[in-house]
Amino acid sequence: MNVREEQNFWTFIALALFIAFCAAAAAIIYYRALPALAALGGLDLAVLGLAAFRFVHLLTYDKILEPVRSAFKDRRGNRLKNAGRGWRRLVCEFLDCIWCTGMWSALIVVTSYLLGPIGVLFVWIFAVAGFGSLLQVISKTIASLER
């Protein structure tokens, strides 16, 4: 099997896992939180969006998870590079892609939010951190424009 076929295989596995997790989340939400889903409003959407934004940033960029990201990479001299093939390459590509990470993050954040008070607390913490991150970016942008 060549590298391209192998990556297609692992991509298919990742897609199948995502669909399975979506189905499991939908079933859990349906049986445990359907009334909460119907009651979601604009504030909930904003909180979920901010929490997903922050969770994506945590997975893809933040220093605290650098050891996790580097565990999937290959060392070439003093530099780390994405793994060349196999499931480790898929994980590296996933962690480099904010769109891919965003889909998984949204699934985790929404499911957590709808499952009860602990999930809501988790999401609100990430949402407040996400809002703080956005304020930091805005502040840096304004400061750079004033120079």
* pLDDT number for residue 49: 96
The amino acid that residue 73 corresponds to is K
What predicted TM-score, i.e. pTM, was given to this entire model?
0.81
Q: Where are the domains of the chain?
A: 3-146
- Asked whether residue 34 carries a pLDDT value surpassing 80, the answer given is no
Question: Which stretches of the chain are DSSP H helices?
Answer: 3-38, 42-60, 66-71, 86-96, 98-114, 117-146
Q: 97-128 b/e with 16+ CB inside 10 Å = b?
A: eeebbbbbbbbbbbbbbbbeeebbebbeebbe
pLDDT, tens digit, 9 for 90 and up, residues 44-73:
999 999 999 999 999 998 999 888 888 877
pLDDT, tens digit, 9 for 90 and up, residues 122-135:
999 999 999 999 99
